Chains A and B, each alone.
Chain A
Amino acid sequence: MIKKTLTLIVAVVIAIWFLSPVVLIVISSLTPSAEYYDPSRILPRSLTLDHLRSLFVTLGGWRATLNSIQVAGMSIGISFLFGLPAAYALTRFVFRGKNSIRLGILLTRSFPVLIIGIPLLILYMRIGISDTLLGVALAHTSMVLPFVVLISSSIIGGISVEYEEAGMIFGLSRFASFMRITMPLVLPGLAASAIFAFIMSWNEVFVAAILTVGSRTLPAHILNAAMTAPDYFKFAAGTIMAVPAMIFIFFTRKYLMSLWGISLK
């Protein structure tokens, strides 16, 4: 009994520690400015959507959100297009140097991606794609692509090659066999990793802020506007950054746990 109560107390304290900043910023973003600056009111009496609305409409938040979605979409597309063949070869072929290639790709995950921003800006100016969403998407791809290769290879590796071989015996090409037999089985896992890749790009701020001036992604826009904006706009910005990411994670939580190697049984 005592142990049960103690466990419950600890669990509640942990939950409050991790949840409260999220809840508090959502409340702050809905607090009317007069109540926010009133020191006697800890929690607001009324809520307003004004800050979120003006952030989206007049302060360019909507435009930046669309930019972020396009950038993430492009980098996921390129990552899977380039990454899936590599993931396939890593699981389906045995060849010399395979472990070195895998280790090499793993090592790029420890590459400090933010340093590519400055050289890429100079390169983009030379080839005429500076301040474009494509430029940011390509930079984000260098962060997302190694992740996609490694995760996809472990997902594809979970499906026995024998089904594909059976397909090939019955006359399917290697590609058709993969697409028609393995692909439907791995699609949910790949979708979950695509969502995680989306969040990697959605959250990246340094490179995006260096590479863009006009066509800023949401975090880059916030980074530049937040320093001078009134507090309640900062909270609105923090909220619109956080909520979509949390919704995505919520819907894919079971897949993500298995991606991280955590069993829920």
Chain B
Amino acid sequence: MTYRKGVTPYLYFIPVIAFLIMFLGYPLIETFRLAFTHPAEPLGNFLRVTRTGELWNALRYTLIISAIVVPAQLALALALALFINMRFKGYLILLYIVSIPLALSDVSAALMSYSIFSPSGYINKILMNLGMASSPIYFFGRGFETRAFWVIVITEIWRATPLVFVIILAGLQSVNKEYLEAADVFGFSRWTKLWKIILPILKPAMLSALLIRTLFAFQIFGVAWLLTGRDIPILAGEAYYWQSIRYNSNVAASYGLVIAMVSIIISWIYLVVLRSREVEGARA
């Protein structure tokens, strides 16, 4: 390591910091400005979409989807990681198969889901061939919002569980084998080992997976938009609608601002939790 007192080390960061100020910092401030720019009243853009209930509806759906998808992904990813970490013969093949969705975009995930759930999709064909349905079951469109909602949830769980899985598996591999051997000596059951040893060690990995997934869950776009358009309104979808179809950057920016505020609050809570744990660690 080279110890540097002067300004030299800081010079290496100028390109990165300048770029991020220009392309993340400036747009964030500009989002505020756009959202509060309205010819009549400062909150006009928000009022326009809160009066009709559009914003609350989108916020509600985004929250509910996140509240179902994120815990489901954590639980499934934990189960998957525990299973694959048993390292049975051929577990590597399964590991690679599970990581496939990591490479896929929300656009292709949505279209894959559509090939299964569309009126002429695989589910309908199988049901009709088995005689369990006489005409296609519709999963999308007006009047079928509940079904469309669950298709979005399943698709999101399918698509993003592997992201949580790789984080948890990495954490799981860092569990010291000697702890588990010691537990065996004392005759602990599998459940006791899981709850008393593995999960506490996994907590940091689970927390960071939880943060990342919650943040991304609030940015859900491609799956919901491609499968249902505005039938299941979500924050990013509404921002896209107001920008690209209604050409109203101010209302679009208002939705952007809501997403940004939620992200900032979640990151802040996470930092507070992290810091309190650091303090605990310092005391111990």
Which chain A residues have a beta carbon within 8 Å of chain B's beta carbons? Answer: 4, 7, 10-11, 14-15, 17-19, 21-22, 24-25, 28, 36-37, 39-42, 78, 81-83, 85-86, 88-89, 92-95, 98, 101, 105, 107-108, 110-123, 138-139, 141-142, 145-146, 149, 161, 199, 202-206, 209-210, 219, 222-223, 226-227, 231, 234-235, 237-239, 241-242, 245-246, 248-250, 253, 256-257, 260-264
Contacts and interface: CB of A to CB of B under 8 A. Distances in A.
Give 10 closest A-B pairs by Cβ, nearest first: A238-B111, A203-B105, A89-B12, A119-B30, A261-B170, A115-B256, A116-B27, A142-B23, A82-B15, A119-B27
Contacts of B218: 112
A10 to B, nearest CB: 6
Interface of A is mostly: helix
12 contacts: A7-B86, A39-B136, A82-B19, A92-B1, A93-B4, A112-B259, A118-B252, A118-B256, A142-B19, A142-B23, A241-B104, A261-B170
B116 A95 contact: no
A39 B128 contact: yes
Contact of A25 (B97, B112, B219): B112
Contact of A205 (B8, B101, B105): B105
Contacts of A237: 107, 111
Contact of B100 (A19, A81, A112, A226): A19
A223 B253 contact: no
B66 interface: no
Contact of B126 (A42, A142, A223, A227): A42
Nearest to B221: A206
B158 to A, nearest CB: 7
B20 A42 contact: no
Contact of A18 (B13, B100, B107): B100
Contacts of B219: 112, 114, 206
A77 B99 CA distance: 26
A231 B27 contact: no
A82 to B, nearest CB: 4
B23 A94 contact: no
A14 B98 contact: yes
Interface of B is mostly: helix
B236 interface: yes
Given A37-B120, A203-B107, A260-B166, A21 B19 contact: no
Given A21-B112, A88-B12, A14 B103 contact: no
Contacts of A209: 240, 244
Contacts of A250: 96
B55 to A, nearest CB: 15
Nearest to B261: A112
B239 interface: yes
A115 B31 contact: yes
Interface of B: 1-5, 8-10, 12-13, 15-16, 19-20, 23-24, 26-28, 30-31, 34, 80, 83, 86, 88, 90-116, 118, 120, 122, 124-126, 128-129, 136, 158, 162, 166-167, 169-170, 173, 211-212, 215, 218-219, 221-222, 225-226, 229, 236, 239-240, 243-244, 249, 252-253, 256-257, 259-260, 263, 266-267
Given A42-B125, A110-B263, A161-B1, A222 B107 contact: yes
Nearest to B125: A42
B30 A122 contact: yes
A225 B24 CA distance: 29
Given A82-B16, A101-B13, A242-B104, A262 B166 contact: yes
Given A7-B86, A250-B96, 16 more contacts: A17-B158, A18-B98, A22-B112, A25-B115, A78-B19, A89-B13, A107-B267, A110-B215, A114-B236, A114-B239, A116-B27, A118-B243, A123-B27, A205-B106, A234-B111, A238-B115
A84 to B, nearest CB: 9
Contacts of B4: 93-95
A226 B129 CA distance: 28
A176 B30 CA distance: 41
A261 B100 CA distance: 17
Contacts of A28: 115
Given A39-B136, A145-B19, A231 B244 contact: no
Contact of B24 (A14, A85, A116): A116
